[in-house]
Chain A
Amino acid sequence: MTTIVLERQPLQSAFTIAPEREQTNTILQLTNIAKSYDHKSMVLNDINLSLQEGEFVSIIGQSGAGKSTLLRCINRMIEPSNGKIIFDQQDITSINKRAMRQQRAKMGMIFQHYNLVSRLTVFENVLHGRFGYKSTMQGVLSIYTEEEKRLALSILEKLDMKDQIYKRCDQLSGGQKQRVGIARALVQEPKLLLCDEPIASLDPNSSKVIMDHLKEISQSMGITVLVNLHQVDVAMRYSDRIIGLRKGEKVFDDIPKQLNQLAIRNIYGTSVDELITE
């Protein structure tokens, strides 16, 4: 595994955000979330978490610590076995499929393997983000309004993907694919962006581009970004707050400055030097 050294962001340091936190709105509130697949071992155990509007939060932890499961419990791609999810002032823990669909439209998701429909063009893939707002027929027949198309175009432009709009997604590089993934999530006009290891399959340069875009999204658009990360240094550089998961339990939740060697040892069971050379 290579270490990714990213330039420090000159914009905003973590502790200028901390005092503001009380004034902003809570966008997501998880209470006692637990997940078990076999009623014996707990993948997630009693997770409490609240996210504020525009916050950039990273989740770190070993493989198998439950990071991906936690992310998917938020949009109920995986049903939590226990606990309560309040998203955008609404309890979505046990709402029906139709209502959940409407809530999912307000949460964008980005994946490690981009999860694009590879034989369709960039533009078509981005417009898929509008499905949550459409009837089945409108979606199946690809009926999009003028505004939706303009929105997709302006987002692609912002992500420097304007020249690739009519390319098929299987002709793009990894970094470009991930930007299409981000565009698809942004076209949903989400309040929350869930990113499942967005840079785990990318080279250092593309990783920096993607992380910069995500940071920019949280700062200028006020969208809350929740990112699963493998790289501690990236998490430290970009996050307003870091969550540490170990064996399905939250063992750290604080600003990056507080993530010292001891805390890292507590999350990973090793020191950071051993981690990077692994």
Chain B
Amino acid sequence: MTEANILRRKKWRMTGVMIVLIVLTYGSAAITKFNIIEGLFAIPSTLAWMINNLVPSAETIENIPKVLKRLWETIILSVIASTTAAVFALLFAILGAQTTQFNRFFGFVARFMASIFRNVPVIAWALVLVISFGHNVVTGYFALFFSTFGFLVRMFIETIDEASSDGVEALMATGATYFQMVCKGVLPDTMPQMLSWIFYMIETNIRSATLVGLLTGTGIGYLFDLYYKKLDYNMLGLITIMIIAVVFIIEFTSNKVRKVIS
């Protein structure tokens, strides 16, 4: 085939893809009666409403300690859920990683279980668990624990397989035992990357914990829900800003720590 033909074919293919995309967009907008122009024109008035209502007033500022107390609960919950999930995830990842699995069957089971836990969204876990555990902090803990566990197993397996197969071969050749190989060959090279993932999960879980709290009635989510139903928009604004601030602080510190340990 000549050069010109290949180029022409590529152009036609691109045109085809564009047409399909446009048709899909228009089709779904027509079905749902969604008007993108109207939506765009609504933005300025929405912004004006937000500025009028969501900016915290002087009296809401007095409520900061109350918000902080609930926020603290949420932070602690996500730290506990992330760290405990990480311990279990490490065990499963060692079972599931190609370089460290001692049995193909267990490796498959570990990866399969992690995949199930990972693919159920945290909100679905919360909804299911709230039925059995009720509206308390345990529900929130398990919902975060399960989704974090699933995600971390996946990330730890990738970290182990990427970082350590060379060292593993050398240690096995010296006559090292399995646990010597894992503790001295795999963990030293993978620890910083794994810690990095744990920090990332703590950040993510603070955001998720807010959402889960809405459902389970705990932490900052509970407070958010309360003021939302009271139509106290000033307080809502305050809570939102404080959540954003906390996530920023956590992200900043975790970046610092990651730099130091790597």
Using Cβ atoms and an 8 Å threshold, which residues of chain A touch B174? Answer: 104-105, 108-109, 128-129, 131-132, 184-185, 188
| Complex Cα–Cα for A102 and B177 (A) | 10
- Chain A residues whose CB sits within 8 angstroms of the CB of B188 once the complex forms: 117, 119-120
Q: Report the bound CA distance from A115 to B168 in whole Å.
A: 8
A-B contact pairs, 20 of them (CB 8 A): A104-B173, A104-B175, A108-B174, A114-B166, A117-B167, A117-B184, A117-B189, A118-B189, A119-B188, A119-B189, A128-B174, A131-B175, A132-B174, A132-B175, A139-B176, A140-B183, A140-B184, A181-B170, A184-B170, A185-B174
Residue numbers of B with Cβ under 8 A of A are: 164, 166-167, 169-177, 179-180, 183-185, 188-189, 191-192
Q: Does A113 reach chain B (CB closer than 8 Å)? A: yes
Q: How far is the CA of A136 from the CA of B176 in the complex (A)?
A: 8
| Shortest Cβ distance from B181 into A: residue | A131
The CA-CA distance from A111 to B171 in the complex, in Å, is 12
Residues in A155-175 with C-beta less than 8 Å from chain B: none
Interface size counted on chain A using CB atoms at 8 A: 35
| A115 pairs with B175, CB closer than 8 A | no
- Cα A133 to Cα B185 with chains together (Å): 17
Q: Which residues of A sit under 8 angstroms from B177, Cβ to Cβ?
A: 101, 131, 136, 139
A113 to B167: give the CA distance in the assembly, Å. 10
Determine whether the beta carbon of A113 is less than 8 Å from that of B175: no
Number of residue pairs spanning A and B whose beta carbons lie under 8 angstroms apart:
88
**Interface residues of chain A: helix, strand, loop or mixed (majority):** mixed
Give the distance to chain A from B27, nearest Cβ to Cβ, in Å: 51
Contact B179 A128 (CB under 8 A): no
Tell me which residues across on chain B come within 8 A of A116, comparing CB atoms: 166-167, 170
Assuming the contacts A131-B171, A131-B184, asked whether A113 and B166 have C-beta atoms less than 8 A apart, the reply is yes
- Is there contact, CB below 8 Å, between B173 and A140? no
Contact flags (1/0) for A199-218 with B, using CB distance below 8 Å? 00000000000000000000
Are B189 and A139 within 8 A (Cβ)?
Answer: no
Encoded as 1 (CB less than 8 Å from any B CB) or 0, chain A from 133 to 149 comes to 11010011010000000
From A107, A114, A132, name the one whose CB has the most chain B CB atoms within 10 angstroms. A132
Determine whether the beta carbon of A117 is less than 8 Å from that of B180: no
Chain B residue numbers with a CB within 8 Å of A100 are: 175
Q: From A141, which residue of chain B is reached at the shortest CB distance?
A: B183
Neighbouring A residues of B191 by C-beta, 8 Å: 119
Q: Which residue of A lies closest to B177 (CB)?
A: A136
A residues less than 8 Å from B164 (CB atoms): 117
Chain B residues within 8 Å of A120, by CB: 184, 188
**How far, in whole Å, are A111 and B172 apart by their CA atoms in the complex?**
13
C-alpha gap A108/B180 in the complex (Å):
17
C-alpha gap A203/B61 in the complex (Å) = 67
Q: Give chain A residues whose Cβ lies under 8 Å from the Cβ of B170.
A: 109, 111, 115-116, 128, 181, 184
* Contact assessment for A134 and B169 in the assembled complex, using a CB-CB cutoff below 8 Å: no
> A131-B174, A132-B174, A184-B174 given as contacts; is B179 within 8 A of A140 (CB)?
yes
B100 CB, min distance to chain A CBs, angstroms: 14
Cα(A28)–Cα(B204), bound, Å: 57
Cβ of A75 under 8 Å from chain B: yes
